[in-house]
Amino acid sequence: MSKVIVHVIGTGTIGEPLTGILSDHKEDFGIDEVTFNKNRPLSGDRPKLEQMIRRGALMCSGKEHVEAFKAMGLEVAFESEEAIARATVVIDCTPSGVGRENKHQYYERYADKVRGFIAQGSEFGFGKMYARGINDDVLDKDKDQFIQVVSCNTHNISVLLHTLADDGQGALALEEARFLCLRRANDISQDGSFIPAPQLGGHSDPQFGTHHARDAYHLFQTLGYDLNLFSSACKTNSQYMHALHFSVKTKFKLDMDGVLARMHDNRRVAITEKGSANSVFSFGREHGHYGRILSQTVVSTPTLAVRNENEVVGFCFTPQDGNSLLSSVAATLWYLDPETMDTRIDCLRPYLFQEV
Ligand SMILES: NC(=O)c1ccc[n+]([C@@H]2O[C@H](COP(=O)([O-])OP(=O)(O)OC[C@H]3O[C@@H](n4cnc5c(N)ncnc54)[C@H](OP(=O)(O)O)[C@@H]3O)[C@@H](O)[C@H]2O)c1
């Protein structure tokens, strides 16, 4: 039997905790080896890389960097391209556009060796869009060698639609939905791109507004839906977590008790009485996995209103990147074995909170 190897490319906001989760739960997940690719040999990154290696992952990089890493006291176990070639699953966690470039430059060349390639939120067009719990049933072993895990806000939008617009028979009955993403300026792990005050975003897509509704539309299109969605976005001068204002209009009647019951019944939805991003973030820091709440949304119940018996309005928080991490693990386990994916991922259930 060949070794089961999962290779993560990128050690940033997504790549670092993902490598850690995979290393910590290697046995639960049925993985023999976790490897990760570090792009630049920056000495300031050495402590982070040491910790990732200490958790059991092997570092890979371009052969031109081997000596520089050696001088930093770090061993490069495999050269970047070799690491892709020997992997069972590759998870690309690089910034916007690099994943699509990598697909053409490398991944397609190793498509006969590697079982599956996964990219993150900004890689529109990389492969089938995926969010755990939304469209697991349409993943197809014969067709879906490339998967794009949707962005954190798209996860949030999608789980709200899935929870609120379900007609009770497992199908969506949605009139329309609108969303305003109140985005943090940058992640606490990032130094750049902070802003001094709220910054409003444009509606570059005339049909969907921003990519968040567009991506949710395409995610649900994999299930055969043609949803009426629109989103707007603005950045706020915060580093904690995104917040989302939503208005979801259904084709059936709803009341507040029903709304709360739906949220309670969906284990990927957390509710909270809190109304500030810092207090929800702080809960994640204390009780989450790598500080992350892995629930797909945290709905602030005091902000909920039901209007005209068919419109649910409210605010919720997007738990950093926890939902993208969970879906990335789920997609990896699906490539390894769809039959055992649900039981293997159970070890992360303690981080799917019902209440925050
Ligand atoms: N941040 C979030 O909250 C979040 C949430 C959901 C989804 N996502 C998505 O996840 C992806 C990664 O985002 P991120 O926030 O983790 O980015 P990030 O923190 O900027 O990290 C990017 C990583 O990619 C590496 N990298 C850059 N260019 C590379 C190249 N050409 N080849 C190989 N490695 C390269 C960088 O390594 P060096 O530093 O060594 O150059 C760095 O480790 C994006 O698609 C983003 O949309 C992010």
Residues 6+ apart with CB under 8 A from 79: 60, 61, 62, 63, 66
E-assigned strand segments in 76-215: 78-79, 89-92, 116-119, 128-130, 146-149, 174-184, 199-200
pLDDT in tens, 143-171: 999 999 999 999 999 999 999 999 999 99
Class of the domain covering 5-150+324-347 = alpha beta
Atom of ligand 1 lying closest to residue 190 CA = 19
| CA nearest ligand 1 atom 14, residue | 13
H or E element at residue 324: helix 322-336
Distance (angstroms) between ligand 1 centre and the Cα of 325 equals: 13
CB 269 within 8 A of CB 299: yes
Atom of ligand 1 lying closest to residue 119 CA = 45
pLDDT in tens, 210-248: 999 999 999 999 999 999 999 999 999 999 999 999 999
Ligand 1 pocket, CB under 6 A: 9-15, 38-40, 93-96, 98, 120-123, 151-152, 187, 320-321, 324
Q: Which pLDDT belongs to residue 148?
A: 97
CB 322 within 8 A of CB 288: yes
Read off the pTM.
0.96
Q: pLDDT grade, residue 122 (50/70/90)? A: confident
Distance (angstroms) between ligand 1 centre and the Cα of 214 equals: 22
Distance (angstroms) between ligand 1 centre and the Cα of 38 equals: 11
pLDDT in tens, 22-70: 999 999 999 999 999 999 999 999 999 999 999 999 999 999 999 999 9
174 exposure class (CB count in 10 Å sphere: 0-12, 13-18, 19+): buried
CB 53 within 8 A of CB 80: no
Which segments of the chain belong to CATH 3.30.360.10? 152-322
Please report, for residues 98, 165, 230, 257, the alpha-carbon distance to residue 253 in angstroms, rounded to integers and kept in the order given.
45, 10, 22, 12
Alpha carbon 301 to chain centroid distance?
23
Six token digits for residue 73: 């006291």
Six token digits for residue 238: 């915060």
Distance (angstroms) between ligand 1 centre and the Cα of 207 equals: 28
Which segments of the chain belong to CATH 3.40.50.720? 5-150+324-347
| Relative orientation angle of helices 322-336 and 152-164, to the nearest 10 degrees | 80
Distance (angstroms) between ligand 1 centre and the Cα of 206 equals: 28
Count how many residues are written for the chain: 356
Atom of ligand 1 lying closest to residue 41 CA = 40
| β-sheet bridge partners, residue 330 | none
pLDDT in tens, 62-91: 999 999 999 999 999 999 999 999 999 999
Q: Which pLDDT belongs to residue 140?
A: 97
CB 81 within 8 A of CB 106: yes
First to last CA, the chain: 43
d(CA 140, CA 117): 14
Name the phi and psi angles at 271, rounded to 5.
-115, 160
CATH superfamily of 152-322: Dihydrodipicolinate Reductase; domain 2 (3.30.360.10)
Q: pLDDT grade, residue 299 (50/70/90)? A: very high
3-class secondary structure, 270? strand
Q: What is the DSSP string of 182-232?
A: EEESS-TT--S---SS-EE----BTTTBSHHHHHHHHHHHTTT----EEEE
d(CA 105, CA 7): 17
